[in-house]
Amino acid sequence: MLSRIRSARAARARHRRGPEGDEIDVAFRRIERLSTVGATISAAELLATARTFDDNGLLGWPINRTRMLGLNRGPGRYLGRLLGYPQVVAVMQTRLLSGLGLLAPGVGRRGRGVALAGMTGTGAALNLRSNYGLDGSDHFAFINFTVALLEKLYPNDERARRAALAFIAAQSCLSYFTSGVVKMTSPVWRNGDAITGVFRTKTYGDRFLYRLTRDNRPLARAMAWSVMVAEALFPLVLVAPRPLARTIMVSGMAFHVGNARFMGLNRFFWSFVATYPAVAHFSRALGTAEADRLPTGADR
C-alpha cells in the first residue's frame, strides 16, 4: 500500500514538472550531447578549411550546384545567397555555436530545441552545399539531431516521444546488422583481403596493421569475421541476458575506438555511440536503469 502511494506521488510529481528530466528526456540529452561532440569537431574543421569552399574552387557552389537540376532553377536558384562563398562560412559558424549551445550545462528543453534546429538546419544546408567527404557518421548525426528535434515538438505526448527514441534504437541496430550481413556477402571480406586492403590505403590505412595482416592471413581473416559477426549480432543487445548485452555494447564502443585510432574515423565513435542510450533504454536486460549509466557522465 505504501509503495502504491509513493508511486502515485512520483507520478504526480513527474506530471507537474513535465518531460524535463524524465527517463526519455535523459536518454535524449545524452544522445544529443554525444552526437554534438562529433558534429562540433566537424564544424570546427570546416571553419579551419573554409577557404576551400571559395566559389572559384572545385568545392565552390557554382560547380556543386550542378549535382542536382533542382538547384539551378526555381527556388533553388536563390540558395546561392546562403550557400555561396563567403555566406556559407556563416552556416558553419552557426553550426559551431549551436553545438556549443547543446554542450553547455544547464540548458533546458526549449534551449536544446533551438540548438537542435540549428544543427538540423545547418546539416541540411551543408549537405546541399557539398556531399564531398560526408560519410555514415554525418548521416547518423543528422538523424539523431532531427529525431531529437521532433521529440521536442511533442513534450506532452509520451507515446510519440518514446516512439522517437525507439526509432533511434532501431536505426542503430539496423545499421550494424545490415553492415555485417552485407560484408558477409563479399568474398574479399570472408577471406580477409578486405582488412588488408583497407589498411593499405592512404586515407584509412595504418602501416603497422597493414604489414601485420599482410604477413598473417589467418589474423586478417579472424579480424574480418569478428567484425562481420559482431555487427550482424548487435541487435541481440535488445533481448540478450545482462552480461551479454553489456559485452555487446562495450565491444561496440571498443570497435569504434579502434576505428578512430587506426582509420581516422573519429566522428563515427560519437555518432554511433550516441545511439547507445536509446538501445540500452529498450534492452530487456539493461533497461532504463542501465541506460542512465551509458555512457557514464554524458548527461553532465
pLDDT in tens, 87-126: 999 999 999 999 999 999 989 999 999 999 999 999 999 9
pLDDT at 88: 92
What pTM does this model have?
0.85
Whether the pLDDT of residue 59 is over 60: the answer is yes
Of 117, 133, 156, which residue is a domain's last?
156
**Range(s) of the domain holding residue 137:** 20-156
> Which tens digit of pLDDT belongs to each residue from 201-244?
888 888 889 999 988 999 999 999 999 999 999 999 999 999 99
Q: What are phi and psi of 140, to 5 degrees?
A: -70, -40
Question: Cell 551479454 appears where?
Answer: 244
- 228 located within any domain: yes
Report the C-alpha gap between 75 and 217 in whole angstroms.
Answer: 55
pLDDT at 20: 75
Instruction: Tell me what pLDDT residue 15 has.
Output: 47
Phi, psi of 268 (to 5 degrees): -60, -40
* Residue closest to 109 by CA, chosen among 176, 71, 67, 156: 156
pLDDT tens digits, residue range 157-182? 999 999 999 999 999 999 999 999 99
Return the pLDDT at 68: 78
Say whether pLDDT at 296 is over 60.
no
CB-based contact 194:224 (threshold 8 Å):
yes
- Residue 31 or 268, more confident: 31
293, pLDDT greater than 80: no
Domain count, the chain: 2
7 in a structural domain: no
295: pLDDT strictly greater than 70: no
CA distances (Å), origin 60, targets 83, 85, 231: 9, 7, 38
Q: Does pLDDT of 11 surpass 90?
A: no
144 and 167, same domain (yes or no): no
CA angle 135, 222, 203 (to 5 degrees): 30
Question: Taking 80 as the threshold, does the pLDDT of residue 246 lie above it?
Answer: yes
Contact 187, 195 (CB under 8 A): no
| Residue 269 pLDDT | 92
Same domain, 75 and 162: no
> Is residue 211 a part of any domain in this protein?
yes
pLDDT at res. 300? 43
Residue 64 has pLDDT above 90, yes or no: no
Check whether residue 163 and residue 151 sit in a common domain: no
**Which grid coordinates belong to 39?**
558534429
What band does 48 get if pLDDT is binned at 50, 70 and 90?
very high
Computed over every residue of the chain, the mean pLDDT equals 87
In a shared domain, residues 173 and 289: yes
End-to-end CA distance of the chain: 36
Last residue of a domain, one of 108, 131, 156: 156
d(CA 262, CA 178): 23
* Torsion angle defined by CA atoms of residues 57, 96, 48 and 300, in that order, rounded to the nearest 10 degrees: -150
Among candidate residues 111, 136, 156, the one where a domain is terminated: 156
Residue 145 and residue 270 share a domain: no
Report the amino acid identity of residue 222: A
